[in-house]
Structure 1
Amino acid sequence: MNFTKTTEQDSEYNDLEKMTISELLFNINKEDKTVPLAIEKALPQIEKLTEQIVDKLKNGGRLFYMGAGTSGRLGIVDASECPPTFGVSHDLVIGIIAGGDSAIRKAVEFAEDSTEQGWNDLLEHAISQKDIVIGIAASGTTPYVIAALAKCNENGIITGCITCNENSPLATTASFPVVVVVGPEFVTGSSRMKAGTAQKLVLNMISTTTMIQLGKVKGNKMVDMQLSNNKLVNRGINMLASELQIDVLTAEALLKKYGNVRNAINNYKNE
């Protein structure tokens, strides 16, 4: 199968060091604008993958993101934001990065080249056929991710991926691939740029759509969010005041009494 790494192809811009700050910013922004259009072409793939995720999570399974470097960090960011945003368990969406948690801050040399560690990392979480695993790799060639997905396939675990190269080894390994072709980067090979933006946007779409389908949003509000800081407490109070048509002080008392927005709404109606 023909495979070209468009993420590694030469930038369409040259002599970057001769550009002014204004020119650099304008051209980077120009490239960034192409990302949502590239994602639009992949919407049918994203839908198929998300359907699988919703099905697994509705039936007691978990969602795993796996990646190395920027891709691994993006998965961890998305996973870590699900509990505070949607009030779900920290064990429902799990991000795994090559090289372990220390690699979140500092690159771990050659961690992404292991063909065994990815599967071992999944085994530490007692991975099973109830779960679903998404490999994230802009290049689509990361051994850590590909080998883990191949092992999942062998063991009857559904796999997906988010990559930016068509017909890549990762795209052909995953059962439900999402391929967003963003083309060459502004700085040749710097896939933390357009490719990273594409991955972040797709992850946002997948987790948000999944959580809405799991009933974690009411109307357009995050009624299950954790009230972990003053900003979120105030947001919760305003949600209650608006939803129940009550004054702010009553809303504040309700929130304090019942702990979160959903409980407050449900109990207020029963009071």
Structure 2
Amino acid sequence: MINPLHKKVLILAVRAGEIMMKSGAEIYRVEDTIERICKACKIPYVEVFAMQTGIFVSLDSGDDNSDMYTYIKRIRGGGDTDLTKISEINRFSREFTTTDLSVDAGMKRLKEIDHIKRLPVTVRLLGAALVASFFSLIFGGNMLDFLCAFLFGGISYLVSLLLNRYEINYFIRGFCCCAVATFLARTATAFIPDTNYNAIIIGAVMIFVPGVAITNSIRDFLSGDMLSGVARAVEAFIIAISLAAGAGMILKLWNTLGGAIL
């Protein structure tokens, strides 16, 4: 059996991995962080298996007659990508493995990291609006398209924040936000000459494209985590379908009804 200290270390390590997983970290990074924290406390045998829905860790004291201790942590629902928390956990793991930081102090530090507040809503809205507007220029838009994408991108992102407050899953959020952006873009082109709704819609949709999920999927494949790579790839594919469905539904209705009712 492992001693009480090792059990506390295990809980600490899994908690760090859970925060990283919910913040969008790669699988190999989560597993490596948990293993490093455990081995820093002189635990002889550590085996970690992580995926989006759970973390499995087995410890052993190294004796021939010792019993293995296994800890399973179920992860329910992933949060939005938060690179700040991932960076802070990486810094914490380096600090924990190279200094004499106690387990209790480490757990307190993890609680502080988990409660780090995101940027103010106004800053995030401004960032989303700028992303949408500059992507509209990249895809052939003019200055009018730039301004429309800036406004509609901010509105669609605000809709996403409101839906997230009610814990609406990201598939429905993506569908609704792209539908709103497409409706606003088609309405703008109906009343404002020389505007290109294609550029405006693409700019607004790019805010919600799951680029991080696609990148992490490829990284997981390259590192040998095939199960996680497939899971992330399927997730990104379904999100992309929801975005396309939201925009496509409005475009189809608009073309069918001729804009008379919409």
Alignment TM class, shorter chain as reference: under 0.3
Between 1 and 2, higher relative CO (CA 8 Å, sep ≥ 6) is seen in 1
When normalised by structure 1's length, the TM-score is 0.23
When normalised by structure 2's length, the TM-score is 0.24
Point out the structure with the larger helix share.
2
